[in-house]
Amino acid sequence: MSDKFSRRDALKFSGAAVGTLALHGCGFSDANATTTPAPDQNTLFANLPSFVPQNEPVATGAMRISFMGTSVIERRAQQRSSVFVELGNGDSFVFDIGSGAVSNYVAMGVPWSKMRKIFLTHLHGDHTSDLTHVYCFGPQGDGKSPLYLFGPSRSGLRNPDYVNGAGSDQFYNPEYFEDGMLDFALHFREMNRWHTESQSFVGTRWKSGNGLPAAPGDGYDVYATELDWMTGDSSKRWTTSKFLNDNPGFTSAKGIAYQNNGVTISFFPAIHGRNGSISYKLEWNGLSMIFTGDTKPNNFLVTSALTGNPVDVLISEIVVNPDVWVTKQSGITDPTSPTYIAGLDNAEAVQVNSHTPQMAFGYILKQLELQGKAPRLGVATHFQAEDDTNSWALEDIRSWYSGPVTIATDLMVIDATHGAIQVRRAIVSDYSWSAKWTDPRQSNGTYDPKYSDPQSCNPYHPMGPLNQFDPYLLANEIDPCLYNKSGFMCTQPYPTSSCKLPTT
Ligand SMILES: [Zn+2]
């Protein structure tokens, strides 16, 4: 067992790591001082006051931050990275949408219509995987308006495998990869082609009426804006439809991703993986939050946090120390074991390439404090949050900084107003269904589906649920009357001899 791990392991059993943590004036504590820290539970989170999403809309003038995915690795207790920001003016913004996060959005009752503006910090799968789900299924619910995507520009890095003189070809011998946001959006849209067509037997765009304009485009339309990580330019845009208006927050101002309805979202470079990671800062109504995405500790973050009023909520990724990672993952504590050494080398390389050590987060917060710009609350995320790792991380952060800090886990909810910052634990059902539709345009109905059946004899008019099947397939469907004579598919068959399928 390494010295470091031994010391920390001892702390785990003494309870000292959390026992010495101070309380802070934000209505929460770092952890329950009387509880012995242990793996497989998160006392810090369990002891937060509860919050029932359905009972409490965002207050006018407030900013609510809900953590929908907080882990770097795959685990049932925490989905992958996603932060949801709702404002008192009714606006809402998604920052990253990693795998599994959508199940938390659904549990929190967030409708698809509130997830139409998505800001990606970088194109790692643990920050983008559930975009597929939002895109594919949003228009089946009330997300029947375009999806606006924002994300970083190409890396600009030369492909080390490029073969000189063999001809440059994007797929077989690219000298430079097309690895930016617009490239991602184009291929993402096409990757999902079969899905979007197959589900276009229902209407996917809101109509106008009742004093409300139609949705500016279809729910399967994408409008992507590329944010240049080096120059701050945001003028590169791509959309699936030439009829679609610009993203509603477009501005030519450098370093600004989005500006509309009193909301400004700026971006700045992050140092993570390779060129092409960014961090975001959202400002509205005198409130602000920063979300770093993934990054090594950097001066861009410090500069952004020093600009303007102190940040209200500064959300930074952190990573467990390499020795903890190896032992947690492998179960090996012997530092002379070749497996341990190989694992440690790997964990250290990952940290050097990509992440913010626990202690560095404390250091950054301290530097901000020294310049009178300490955030009202620092939040660590992208982290395997359980009692022992929480206590070790807080110990490292506290070695530099004693201000208000917490560690996020899924369903932690922060309400920020000018007067207070409240941190709570959302109470949700594990068996929730898709969220209720809230888009007010639903009262207008939709344009006819792309695959519609206009015949009045069609019982599903204007939907055409059978329009995308070859007669060969339909001729081999088992007759519904064979298994349920009283079922609607037997008593009200479609098609019938007098109401054939339209020929397309
Ligand atoms: Zn990453």
Check residue 32 and give its pLDDT.
Answer: 41
For residue 449, how far is its CA from the centre of ligand 1 (angstroms)? Answer: 38
Give yes or no: residues 405 and 460 share one domain.
Answer: no
Average pLDDT over residues 465-487: 96
Distance 317 CA to ligand 1 centre (A): 10
- The pLDDT score that the predictor gives to residue 167 is 81
| Residue 241 Cα distances to 112, 247, 401, 452, angstroms | 21, 12, 50, 20
What pLDDT does residue 405 have? 98
Residue 166: predicted pLDDT = 85
Q: Is there a domain that residue 442 lies in?
A: no
State yes or no: pLDDT of 31 exceeds 80: no
Q: Give 161's DSSP letter.
A: T
Percent of the chain with pLDDT over 70: 92
Residues 408 and 502 in one domain: no
Instruction: Measure the CA–CA gap between 63 and 88, rounded to whole angstroms.
Output: 6
Quick one: pLDDT at residue 504? Answer: 58
pLDDT for 17: 34
Of 89-103, 267-281, 453-467, minimum mean pLDDT range: 453-467
Ramachandran class of 262: left when φ > 0, alpha when ψ lies in -120 to 50, beta otherwise: left
Instruction: For residue 123, report the distance from its CA to the centre of ligand 1, in Å.
Output: 7
Is residue 342 a part of any domain in this protein? no
Q: Would 191 be classed as within a structural domain?
A: yes
CA distances from 332 to 217, 346, 392, 490 (A): 55, 15, 19, 62
Residues 36 and 157 in one domain: yes
Question: What number is the average pLDDT over the span 248-256?
Answer: 94
Measured in Å, residue 297 CA sits from the centre of ligand 1 at: 14
- In the reported structure, the alpha carbon of residue 44 is separated from the centroid of ligand 1 by a whole-number distance in angstroms of 25
Whether residues 419 and 301 share a domain: the answer is yes
**Total residues belonging to the chain:** 504
The values of phi and psi at residue 427, to 5°, are -100, 115
Cα(390) to ligand 1 centroid in Å equals: 21
Assigned domain for 336 exists: no
Rounded distance from Cα 124 to ligand 1 centre (Å): 5
pLDDT of residue 39: 73
Q: Are residues 137 and 77 in the same domain?
A: yes
Q: 494 CA to middle of ligand 1, Å?
A: 49
Domain-embedded: residue 197: yes
For residue 134, give Cα distances in angstroms to 143, 180, 445, 460: 9, 20, 21, 26
Alpha carbon of 275 to ligand 1 centroid (Å): 12
Residues 143, 113 contacting (CB under 8 angstroms)? yes
Residues of the domain holding 475: 451-504
Decide if 350 is inside a domain: no
The answer to whether 67 touches 381, Cβ cutoff 8 Å, is yes
- Tens-digit pLDDT profile for residues 149-160: 999 999 999 999
Cα 8–Cα 294–Cα 307 angle in degrees, nearest 5: 105
Mean pLDDT of all residues in 482-504: 90
Please report which confidence band the pLDDT of residue 497 belongs to, taking 50, 70 and 90 as the band edges: confident
Query: How far away, in angstroms, is 242 Cα from ligand 1 center?
Result: 33
> How many angstroms does the Cα of residue 32 sit away from the middle of ligand 1?
31
Residue at a domain's end among 399, 430, 461: 430
| Ligand 1 centroid to residue 166 C-alpha, Å | 33
% of the chain beyond a pLDDT of 90: 87
Ligand 1 centre distance from Cα of residue 473 (Å): 44
Regarding whether 366 and 220 lie in a shared domain, the answer is yes
Per-residue confidence (pLDDT) for residue 30, from 0 to 100 = 45
Q: What is the pLDDT of residue 165?
A: 86
478 CA to centre of ligand 1 in angstroms:
48
Longest dimension (CA), the chain: 82
φ, ψ dihedrals at 484, nearest 5° = -155, 95
Looking at the fold, whether 58 and 141 belong to one and the same domain comes out as: yes
Which pTM value belongs to this model? 0.92
User: Tokens in use for 405?
Assistant: 């800090």
Separation of CA 427 and ligand 1 centre (Å): 29
pLDDT category, 38, cuts 50, 70, 90?
A: low
Residue 408 Cα, ligand 1 centroid: separation in angstroms? 17
**Angle (deg, nearest 10), helices 299-306 and 358-370:** 40
If you average pLDDT over every residue of the chain, what do you get?
92
* Mean local confidence (pLDDT), 55-81: 96
pLDDT at 169: 80
CA of 305 to the centre of ligand 1 (A): 21
pLDDT band at 424 (very low <50, low <70, confident <90, very high): very high
475 shares a domain with 425: no
399 and 464 in one domain? no
CA distance 364 to 356: 10
pLDDT per residue as tens digits for the range 87-114: 999 999 999 999 999 999 999 999 999 9
CA 128 to ligand 1 centroid distance, Å: 10
492 or 25, higher pLDDT: 492
Calculate mean pLDDT across residues 467-495.
95
Same domain, 421 and 469: no
Q: 463 with 89: CB under 8 angstroms?
A: no
Assign 501 a pLDDT band (cuts: 50, 70, 90).
confident
Measured in angstroms, how far is the CA atom of residue 121 from the centroid of ligand 1? Answer: 8
Q: Decide: residue 309, CB within 10 A, 0-12 exposed, 13-18 middle, 19+ buried.
A: exposed
Nearest Cα residue to 419 out of 83, 59, 66: 59
292 CA to centre of ligand 1 in angstroms: 11
Where among 430, 463, 478 does a domain terminate? 430
Question: From the CA of 2, how far away is ligand 1's center (Å)?
Answer: 28
Distance 78 CA to ligand 1 centre (A): 16
Give pLDDT tens digits for 332-369. 999 999 999 999 999 999 999 999 999 999 999 999 99
Q: Where are the beta strands (DSSP E) in 183-240?
A: 222-227, 236-239
Q: Are 501 and 468 in contact (CB under 8 A)?
A: no
Report strand pairing: 277-284 vs 263-270. Answer: antiparallel
120 and 244 housed in the same domain: yes
Contacts of 251 (CB under 8 A, 6+ apart): 234, 258, 259
C-alpha of residue 369 to centroid of ligand 1, in Å:
27
Distance of CA 286 to the CA centre of its chain: 24
- Specify whether 464 is located in the same domain as 387: no
CATH code where residue 78 lies: 3.60.15.10
120 within some domain: yes
**Å from CA of 127 to ligand 1 middle:** 7
Using pLDDT thresholds of 50, 70 and 90, give the confidence band for residue 172: confident
Tell me: pLDDT of 425 over 70: yes
Q: Domain boundary at 369, 399, 430, which?
A: 430
126 C-alpha to ligand 1 centroid (Å) = 7
* Ligand 1 mean position, distance from CA 103 (Å): 21
Q: Which DSSP symbol is given to 244?
A: P
Q: State in Å: Cα 249 to ligand 1 middle.
A: 26
Q: Is residue 459 part of a domain?
A: yes
Q: Could you give the number of structural domains in the chain?
A: 2
Task: For the chain, report the end-to-end CA distance as a whole number of angstroms.
Answer: 70
